[in-house]
Structure formats: structure tokens, C-alpha cells
Amino acid sequence: MKAVRIHAPGGPEVLKYEDVPEPQPKAGEAVVKVDAAGLNYIDVYYRSGQYKAELPMTLGLEAGGTVTAVGPNVTEVRVGDKVAYTGVAGAYAQYAAVPAQRLVVLPAGVSTRQGAAAMLQGMTAHYLACSTYPLKRGDTCLVHAAAGGVGLLLCQIAKMRGARVIGTVSTEAKAKLAREAGADEVILYTTQDFEAEVKRLTSGRGVQVVYDSVGKTTFEKGLSCLAPRGLMALYGQSSGPIGTFDPQVLNQKGSLFLTRPSLVHHVATREELLQRAGEVLGWIRDGKLRLRTEFEFPLKDAAEAHRALEGRKTTGKVLLIP
């Protein structure tokens, strides 16, 4: 079968489309024929070497597809089930062997492509808005990169929970998408001072929570956007890591809270995985949560897809089709 692997870290050119043996299921595993693999920013961190892994590595932490084989002791899925998963490396491939514990059977009305588009970014937006800082009516949140994969979903879930949403984006076209996803206000952080804008839009009060996936270029100013005792949820670093940080700043800026959360710790048990995925996939089935999947690339063009994501050319979800 074909897969996209890296043999050494580097730029998009290190992604190699090559022949590898088809996986066989071990005990507790199922083999999934991948209909679509999700591209996520974390794939860039692994490819570039910011995150370490054993090499060669088949990239990709998310896919949707059909179960074609199960190993011994698998009770969670059966051959023929339409499933999606995240958190297991190896999705940039025609087939993937996945611990059955990590598989979610898709509800009727949700396609495998939608599943591939929803699992990682959807459950991330879910835990940020529902667990890290459970938004409620009366809250205002700041969502950076609001037209991105996580961003568009986070705007929608924040609105469902009754919060006021201020989004940041780099272009007018992205601003339109963020507004369509429910953002009440959108700031072009590439041309406007987002700290001054947030203060103006909140009459100087600041926001209860900043959801920051951009990191280096937004983190410090984001802290200044928070109301006293507000929460900075730094969940990514698309522009680079923030460097060292002095906690005394949290005191100076108003007894702030800082967290650096990860999806892994929010779907650690099967029970929590099924609960979170069930809610996200249910919203998609019911039309309450809209996925934007305009960007699809053949798997063999994974390098082009990485260039587009890193070049800020994409919006919503990017899928790779084997």
C-alpha cells in the first residue's frame, strides 16, 4: 500500500509517498481502510522536528474510513463499520492499524470524510469551550486564527454556549468566514493592534478567556486582553513557541490563569472519548456544527497541503485523500 513517511525532519520536501507493507491487526487492533486523513498543524511540528518521534514515521493523527479486519479481543467495532479516530500516528496511508479502543463508530448521517474532519479539531474546540474554560452567557472570548481548522469550530461552539466571540484573522476573506461561523467581532491582527481593539470592543474590561493557537506573535499581547482573573488557554504555536515565561506576569496583569492544554488529556479514557466525540458528531449530524472542508489534496500531494497550511493559505479543515 501507499503511505506518506518522513525519514528525517525538515521542510515539506521530506514527505515521501512510498510503498510500505499493509498493516495486519494485532490483539486489540482494527485495520481501517482510510477514506480521508485529516491534516493538522501538529503534523507540521512532527515533520519539522519541533516534536520528536521515532523515524521513519508515517505522519497523520486522524482519519475516517471503514474497518476491514479486526484482531483478537476486539469488541468495540466490527468489519464494515464506518469509523473515525484521532491520536494514533499513521493516518497518511491507505490502511492504518488502530487500537480499537480509540475508534468511534460514526452515527448515521455522518460520512467518513466528515469524521476525518471532525475528530481532532472538533474535539479540541469542544474541550476548550466546554472544559478548559466552560463558556457561558455573559462571557466574552478571544479566538485567534478564527478561520482556521480549530478556529471556525471554536467560534461556533462558543456561540452555542451563549458567549460573545471576538476573532482574529489575517485577511478580509478569512474575516468573512469567521463571521459566518458566528464571530461577533473580527480583528485583522496583521494590520490592526488586536490588544487596543479588544479593549475598545469590551469598553476596557477585557475578555474572560483567550484561546491562543498562534503563540509567539500573539501570546504576550493576549495576556493584556484578559479581564482580571481571566484565563489564557495557550493551545498551539503556529507562529512559533513563546519561549520562557515569568509567572510573575500573571500577578501583574490581574491574577491571571495560564494553561497549556492538549487533546490527549481530554479523551484519555474511552468513556470521555465517546462522550466528547458523540457530542461533536451529533452536532454535525443535526446541522448545528458546520464543517468547512474546501481544501482536499490527494495523499501523494501531502507536501503541497503542508505548504498551504503553513503558508496560511487554508481555512477550515484540510483533508488528504488516499
Q: Provide the b/e sequence for 36-50 (b: ≥16 CB within 10 Å).
A: bbbbbbbbbbbbbee
Is residue 213 a contact residue for ligand NDP (CB under 6 A)? yes
Number of neighbouring beta carbons within 10 Å of residue 28: 16
Nearer to ligand NDP, 39 or 67 (CB): 39
Nearer to ligand NDP, 270 or 307 (CB): 307
Cell of 154: 471554536
Number of neighbouring beta carbons within 10 Å of residue 313: 11
Instruction: Kindly give the interhelix angle for 112-127 and 270-285, rounded to the nearest 10 degrees.
Output: 110
Please check whether residue 167 is in contact with residue 155, taking contact to mean a CB–CB distance below 8 angstroms: yes
Nearer to ligand NDP, 59 or 74 (CB): 59
Cell of 9: 525532519
Is residue 214 a contact residue for ligand NDP (CB under 6 A)? yes
According to CB under 6 A, which one of 30, 143, 169, 299 is a site residue for ligand NDP? Answer: 169
Interface pattern 16-45 for ligand NDP (x via CB under 6 A): ------------------------xxx---
Site for ligand NDP in 227-246 (CB under 6 A): 235-239
Interface pattern 127-146 for ligand NDP (x via CB under 6 A): ------------------x-
Please check whether residue 151 is in contact with residue 178, taking contact to mean a CB–CB distance below 8 angstroms: yes
Number of neighbouring beta carbons within 10 Å of residue 191: 9
Cell of 185: 467581532
Is residue 149 a contact residue for ligand NDP (CB under 6 A)? yes
Cell of 299: 495523499
Closest listed residue to residue 90, CA positions, set 136, 67, 59: 59
Cell of 320: 488528504
Is residue 86 a contact residue for ligand NDP (CB under 6 A)? no
Size of the site for ligand NDP (CB under 6 A): 30
According to CB under 6 A, which one of 100, 119, 150, 198 is a site residue for ligand NDP? Answer: 150
Smallest separation, CB 320 to ligand NDP (Å): 13
Site for ligand NDP in 247-306 (CB under 6 A): 261-263
Residues at the interface with ligand NDP (CB under 6 A) = 40-42, 120-121, 124, 145, 147-151, 169-170, 174, 213-214, 217, 235-239, 261-263, 309-310, 312, 314
